[in-house]
Structure 1
Amino acid sequence: MNNSEFSGEPQVFPLIQALFVDNDWTRLESLLDENIQWHATEPCRDYSGLGQVRDHIESQMHRHRETLICTTAPVSSALDERYRLITVKALMQGKDCHSLILTLIQDQESGKFCFVQVSPAQITSAAYQNQELALTFLPDQMPGGIFHCLFDEPLTLLQTSDSFLQLTGYTREEIRTELHNSFRALIDPRDYENTLVEVREQLRHGCDKELQFRLLRKNAEPIWVLDKGRYLQDEWGRQYFCCILVDISESKRIAEEFRLSLQRYEIIMNQTQDIIFEWNIATDELTFSENWKQYLGYPLQTTVSGLLDEKNTNFYPEQRSLFADLCRRIRAGQAYIEDELQLHDIHRQPNWFRIRVTTQLDENQKPIKAIGILSNIDEDKQRAQKLLEKAQRDPLTQYYNKETAQTLIQDWLSTQPAQNALMIIDIDDFKIVNDTLGHLFGDAFLIEATSRIRQLFRSEDILGRVGGDEFLVFMKNIPDRELAEKKARQIIEAFQSIELHNQKILKVSCSIGIAMTSPANPNFHYWFHRADQALYSMKSQGKNQYAFYNQLADDNAFFPMVEGASAVNARIDSNLLKKYETPRISEFIFNKLYEAQDLERCIQEILEIIGRHFDVSRVYIFENSDDDQYCTNTFEWCNEGIPPEKENLRHISYEDDLEGRYLANFDENGLFYCQDIQSLDPAQVRLLEPQKIKSLLQCLIQDRGRPRGYIGFDECREKRLWDQEQINVLTYVAEILSVFLLKKRAEDRIQQLESSLKVK
């Protein structure tokens, strides 16, 4: 044997010597990578890793030893910068003489072999002819075009099947003359480099390759093909591939449509505010879109059973029952379900969602999946709740109106067999207050009186306004009548402590009729009538007292009940603005300001009284800077549900923010009335629109004809049409406030000047 033949590949000969001659596994193991891939063609088996390869080699070693007669020179070619392919033919002598071809891939960094294939070298030219003949019979049996090609630069075609010709559109003669037997010429140039890199990468791990690329047919039409093949070597050491090509253009088209569909889905998902979810009923797996975290902020449960677990705090108990019922209906095969439920966010705040679910059925009409959408409706719910509360409550006192109070009490009586107390409170001689001091003063008194009454009762008790100066209190589930009697005395005492100052002091009292309800008769009208009868009899005998209905029925000291008599007047006077009451309102405002010890606090109280009386959204005052270049929101009162804007409206420039034309809105009387702000200049709309203003009424604050600010009334709920009487009242109020406010600011400047002089 001539060892010089291995001078270029010094590690190949030791591997063959250790494997076939010395049967030295220790030496052989030192030449192999620990992740060695070993392919034996006889028997056709693959072995992975040193353990499996050792077992295979040892089983061969025990059978017989070979003698190495001679070898061919190794043929080497680079697969990439790190790996190279080596082919060597060895003549072995044992019981008989035979040739072997070893195909090896060597890691050039470590010098170790990571792939070894041992094949008998028995293929002849006749065998190639037989393979070529066999290929002509394969098209009908094989689902694609078959070809053999060398692993050289042009990928020289060795054999092609008829189905290969049908796939490419060429004849064998055209392949020879036009393509020069080059398979590379068929590969779309856009894909060749990537395909070559992929082939080399796959050969690092074995002899098989699987690729997808575009192939150019004879008419230059590109088609997508799947190329599956095996890397082999013949007895002369030539490297070649046996491959099958399958047209996958349609599959690629479908995959691309699917990809675009998924992309569209992702775009929609990123833009929608809704949470998409899917429930696999068989596996109980639950998946949600990413915007779940946007609304709720915590990791989501991946199973329905996890959501329904009582340890899961995402649901209110009643909401968990609702969700469990929804899942039951899905399992029962209900096609479509829509409902509302409430979930906690990460801050334990409740959020309302509308849930819509469609159930998918299999061919046996059994539910397999549920696809659904969760839409956040929390703002809509809150808005609806505020509108409901506004519709249910008296705007002046914020007590329930008569209809709502009746409904709530009737619902309680119908469902709760408890002892309750129903009180009707009537303000004695309240008409004198309205006639003497005006309705605006009367409203201020009602606000104070009802506030004191509210403080005496629990949040679950029901307070309602049932007339102009009549109120209702329903005490739920009380232990005895002594508690109702105690509360009645406290109400009377609260009224006695209210003093009304004008030119003289007026004392206002109240009378109370009480009925203790019984579970035997859960009818609101029955008990309301009896409390009303008690109140009527009490007012007939004297005022500033309380009485129980059963006490009146049993005690001869009281007058007998008068059937049909009632103390309750259903008309609420303060809701009706009487004409020609401007002088009284002016007098009330003037006296309150004149007697005020704290003017700024008094102004704030007046803004609230005016705001509630006229039921506007916002009342405010803007005052100018000393140079009249800027204005600042200095006072503000907002109705329920209206956001404050005072902190956002400081140092507003007439020139820059209002384009220098804002004061032109005021007429010669210093009045600016706008039913629809969209009719204003764009700059003014940009300032007012974020404040949700729809209509406004503003009156100038003037100092000897010089504008020094303005007092305004905003309506944010709807466009408002002010009548002339309302405008007259508000204008007078603005004028009176202006006088006292300007006086206060002048005094402030004088004090500042005096202080600065003292410092000097």
Structure 2
Amino acid sequence: MKREQFNLKQAALAFADKLIELYFIDRRLDRLPAYMNEKISWIGTGENELCQNLMEAKQALKAEFKEYSGSFIIRQRQVYAVPFDDACIVYGMLEAEPEDKMFAIEKLRFSIVLDKELKLLHLHFSYPDMDQKAAHYYVESRDRSNLQDLKQTLALRSRQLELLNNSLPGSAHQCRKDAHFTLITMSDSFLSMFGYTREEIANRFHNHFIEMVYPNDRSMMLSMIHKQLKKGSDIELEYRVLCKSGKPIWVLDKGRLLTERDGSENFFSLLIEITQRKQAQEALRLSLERYQVIMDQATDIIFEWDIARDTLFFSPNWYKKFGYAAISKQISQRIPVSENIHPDDMHAFMRIMKDTAAGVPYSETEFRIRDRQGKYHWCRIRATAQFDADGKAIKAVGVILDIDDEKRQHLVLLDMAQKDALTGLYNKAAIDSLVAARMQNCEASGKQALLILDVDHFKSVNDTYGHLAGDSLLASVAAVIKSQIRSSDLAGRIGGDEFLIYMASINDEENVLRKAEKLLSALEELTPLPNALPITCSIGAAVFSYGEGDYHTFFQCADQALYIRKKSGRKGVTFYQAVKECSSDHLMSAVNEESNIDQVEIMEEQLAQYAFRKLYAAKDIHLTIERLLGIIGHAYDVSRVYIFESNDGHSCFNTFEWCAKGIKPMNSSISVSLAETAQRFDEQGLFYCAEVKPMSKHYHSYLAGQDCCSLLQCAILDEGEFAGYVGFDECREHRVWESKQIAAFKLTADVLSAFLMKLRLKQALKIK
């Protein structure tokens, strides 16, 4: 190959890499036209991706970016180049995974023609035909027809589902879980049942379903919903609803509470009119209830329990499902010792039997039943009690549903919700709950240990090598922890670079020390990047006997041990010996340098809600505000949190202030003009400055004593009038707060302001 062609080939390959980086990784589609020839032609994978010149290519790029602006992760790439005298062809394949999981992975083949100036002259993308079998060149027609048959079957099933939905008895509606049960959707049968039009419901009841409920039944309805939601997401209750005629009718409401993607909660309910059933004689009512339950519960295994005779009848589906005859006599004695129900679930089954016998109208639980081969299947049992004329439960009828697939999927989702996405270890909320529960095991032997591990100087890793390297390092640390602990141990990520390990049933402290040193030795083999210095870690450990203390005490002891380790030079293990010292009011903490009890609570609640709860219960609001400023500062990692107030209507003075370590407090004698300060704030009561220095000339009198790089301030209003502000300063570097963070600051500041105004009003009344 000639030297010129070799150089052209290398330049073309570099061009292709740059093109992939701009198009897929950086998503700088606006810069791509600079690399295109005016006469470029472009054939993409979609029907609209056909361009014949640069102008059409620009329009296509804008439309594509509007549809998806996120980045891609390149999983595979193969690029080749063939140079010619005045052009070069680049071709290959790549696999690009969108960061937004809503979009599918793209497996692309491409070819590029570059002119002699290395500009795009022609671009062609294509997808492999997924119906084409390996080692074949063509797609057989029967493969296409199978796909078409599948689509037709799916359309048929959709029509059948729609027909079934329209054939269901009663009426359906959807409403929000709010004080009014605001209606979202109503079926035509819902309107027919009560005789209203949609407009009449909107005008007369303001779309509030609670206003349609008979007034005398509203309190009972709310109470029953609250009680049943404690047991699960399903509700079933009876009440009366006002019809257009003015008469109420009885309805049976069978609903389920579901959480939408945006976090809102809505009820999906089926209403069945039961007025005649309510008015029927007792014998007829029992018969109708049994029939209604069977119809509602539909398929699977139907059962009837005669409480007085202690007999149990199952439909034939039991034998078909499990392969053996069920226990049918003396069930209250034989079922508790039966191997047919999983030992861990026996208490749930017995509870539903006791509840039903005691007169609970409706009960539901989940448990595992063994089949003939010894395999356990997850099932859901729903039991409805029947009563005699004296109100005593005499029978129970219901259904057993196979929920094995549903339950296993739920367990997978639960595992995902408990795990930290980066490391795969338990997240903080999950590890806190699991360890606290494990510590209550009264039958455990030996002792238990809690280790808090911190990566030394982790911030410098992010600063030196970037956050991607930092994330990779944390994942590696987690992998080492998983490989070093026992299957019975628990491990979780409780902070940025902080990990917690719980070891149950250990022999002594020496055993824990050996395991911790072995773990540290394995971690010292990790580096942020190849050829970089290896990391070191610090561990604070505490060893407790079972029943010696609660989880918070345990955590504080290990946390203080870590603090001592870090103050002593890091890199090693320190044990907390004096357990009784954990009862002090304020512990030095390596996790956040504050008592970890507050930090645990703050992780479980939104910051504004946390501040409101603490201030609402505070006996000393002044002292509580001082402490809250520190907690807020730690939670959002700012340099300074402070409050300026006006006590004369003319000037603002610094009345509260918290500073991070190494941050110089503001001059306490600083005062600013109330009127001039109010002008800085926008209509939302915010003054935000990502870079203070350019603004110093405009606000020199105020910023002179502040020594900060970035600031965010939220106005304090007293009956709509500006009365001061809550401020957050960053003195270490320029900082850009996201809109969600600003909203959180503002809401928290509003909570502080409300209680601060209450405090000042009380003080003023005492003075008078």
Same fold (TM over 0.5): no
TM-score (norm 2): 0.35
Pair member with larger Rg = 1
